[in-house]
């Protein structure tokens, strides 16, 4: 379970705290277990700051806290603060990034279940489509409809999402695809074979919809599995 620690503190020396954090990042590189962190300044009180630090789990957070670099950084930070920092420890029970929810709909509803009606709900009208097996420069929702229809005609398939990260307007998904070759595909007659491949999809979101997408995967490996040698 993801674990988040919130550090609430007052300081009149934010620049020195920033230098301290930069030094800590350099010195703990390769050993710290932090997956994401951000610092916010209170608009209503210029000396009030809040750090939000994310870890893969509580256990990883505890391992990080026992690093000598972390202990040294904390003691130096206290010296720069006006009073003792306050800590809030949170187990994350829900984490809904709007872009990740859109990406999940693409895999689950549109690709696997074939709900083409959802394309207009997920993709922007001027969507830009990039696919290693398709022509360059395609735009519009029709590019998604064409590709999904082609893949579903040729394969019964599913996606296993191995990892997904979402930051700002970008969502990246690492996946493993498994499909049974049931129809003609890129000139290859159906073989009935079960094929697998790994790939990565990157979506850029805008105004609550997917505006651009990049699909990268082992296309040549897939073609070899269905017997296309050319």
Query: Which pair of structure tokens corresponds to residue 225?
Result: 């599995």
Buried b (16+ CB within 10 A) or exposed e, 107-143: bebbbeeeeeebbeebbbeebbbebeeeeeebeebeb
Backbone φ and ψ of 186, nearest 5°? 50, 40
Q: What domains, with CATH codes, occur in the chain?
A: 3-91 (3.30.70.100), 98-225 (3.10.450.50)
| CA 37 to the chain's CA centroid | 15
Q: How do residues 6-58 score in pLDDT, each as one tens digit?
A: 999 999 999 999 999 999 999 999 999 999 899 999 999 999 999 999 999 99
Query: Which pair of structure tokens corresponds to residue 4?
Result: 């988040």
Q: How do residues 57-116 score in pLDDT, each as one tens digit?
A: 999 999 999 999 999 999 999 999 999 999 999 999 988 899 999 999 999 999 999 999
Is residue 38 a contact partner of residue 51, using CB atoms and an 8 Å limit?
yes
Rounded CA separation 219/203 (Å): 19
pTM of the model: 0.73
Could you tell me which residues come within 8 angstroms of residue 208 by beta carbon, excluding any fewer than 6 positions away?
98, 102
């Amino acid at each position: 379970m993801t674990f988040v620690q919130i550090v609430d503190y007052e300081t009149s020396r934010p620049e020195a705290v920033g230098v301290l954090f930069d030094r800590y990042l350099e010195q703990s590189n390769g050993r710290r277990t932090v997956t994401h962190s951000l610092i916010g300044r209170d608009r209503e009180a210029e000396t009030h700051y809040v750090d939000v630090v994310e870890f893969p789990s509580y256990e990883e957070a505890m391992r990080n806290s026992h690093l000598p670099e972390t202990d040294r950084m904390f003691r130096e930070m206290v010296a720069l603060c006006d009073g003792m920092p306050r800590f809030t420890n949170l187990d994350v029970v829900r984490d809904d990034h709007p872009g990740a929810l859109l990406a999940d709909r693409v895999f689950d509803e549109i690709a696997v279940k074939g709900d083409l009606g959802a394309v207009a709900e997920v993709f922007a009208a001027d969507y830009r489509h990039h696919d290693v097996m398709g022509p360059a420069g395609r735009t519009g929702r029709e590019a998604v409809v064409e590709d999904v229809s082609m893949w579903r005609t040729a394969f019964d398939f599913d996606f296993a999402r191995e990892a997904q990260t979402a930051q700002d307007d970008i969502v990246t998904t690492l996946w493993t695809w498994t499909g049974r070759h049931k129809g003609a595909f890129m000139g290859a007659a159906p073989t009935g074979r079960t094929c697998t491949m790994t790939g990565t999809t990157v979506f850029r979101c805008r105004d609550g919809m997917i505006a651009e997408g990049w699909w990268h995967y082992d296309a040549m490996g897939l073609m070899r599995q269905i017997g296309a040698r050319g």
